[in-house]
Amino acid sequence: MYRIGLFSKMTKVTIKALRFYEAEGLLIPDYIDSESGYRYYSSSQLPLAYRIVSLRQCGFPVAQIRQIIAGKNIAKLFVEQRSKLEEEVVETARRLTSVNHYLDSVANAENTSYDIVLKELPSVLVYSCRMVVDSYDDYFTVIPKIGEEISRANPDLCCVDDPPYCFIMYHDGEYRDQEIDIEFCEAVASRGKETERISFKEIPAVKQAACVMHKGPYSALSYAYGALFRWIEDNKLIMAGNPRESYIDGIWNKSHSENEWLTELQIPVTTG
């Protein structure tokens, strides 16, 4: 028989952990002295202690260890744990890539740092207008006209403002600065009367999109796109839909300085 301290040294399990396993019914001492309260373990319990440690090192919680020791759902639990660990490996690799991007920015003394995140884009009802524009400069004339046209057809139309979602989808599938195939979309609370070129549609949810905020003029958006596409490639992701530009602040509320304009770039992605 081994006192708890010696058993702890033999199994490399702390006394605190042994007491926890006892409380959870995983590893009960062979004998407890009623007067001193000393706990004793037998050599026959060493294999069980090692199995518990091994399962803990596999990442199993106590509840699942109890099932495995009891011989319940062993194969199923190990398959599920493998899938969980594989997902963690992918997530860890993504985090490492993000850290490396930050380090590269510091090493290259870049003034602009782009913080890229993965998030879900919810489904949204919009009015939309698809067109080809010569350049970004056209946005300042064609987009206000779209708003005026839909307002004339639907004086009582309510745009979503909690939060507002006004964006452009790029059907070219890549960044271009000339002859750009775009679709302007504005989130609305309900459908309305369509015009010859403006329609209402439901845009499905996107399970995962790589997104980055760009603060400054639209003429510098190419830098944000470059950082975003590099990040997607480094994380071994694949573009799974048309890129979007969501306009948060712009000429309509920050007319005094284009350096204050805030745009979110959103690119649907998948692991392939």
pLDDT at 27: 93
CATH number for the domain whose boundaries are 116-270? 3.20.80.10
pLDDT at 107: 62
pLDDT at 3: 92
Amino acid identity of residue 128, one-letter, is S
Could you identify the residue written with the tokens 């639209």?
218
Question: 179-210 burial, b for 16+ CB within 10 Å, e for fewer?
Answer: ebebbbbbbbeeebeeeeebebeebeebebbb
Give the phi and the psi of residue 50 in degrees, each rounded to 5: -65, -35
Task: Give the number of other CB atoms < 10 A from CB of residue 254.
Answer: 14
HSE, CB side, 13 Å, CA atoms: give it for residue 6. Answer: 9
Show pLDDT as tens, one digit a residue, over the chain (272 residues).
Answer: 889 999 999 898 999 999 999 999 999 999 998 888 999 999 999 999 999 999 998 999 999 999 999 998 899 999 999 999 998 888 888 778 777 766 776 666 554 568 888 899 999 999 999 999 998 888 889 999 999 999 999 999 999 988 889 999 999 876 677 889 999 999 999 999 999 999 999 999 999 999 999 999 888 888 888 888 888 888 888 999 999 999 999 888 887 888 899 999 999 999 86
Question: Domain coordinates of the chain in residue numbers?
Answer: 2-72, 73-111, 116-270
CATH number for the domain whose boundaries are 2-72? 1.10.1660.10
Task: Give the number of other CB atoms < 10 A from CB of residue 246.
Answer: 20
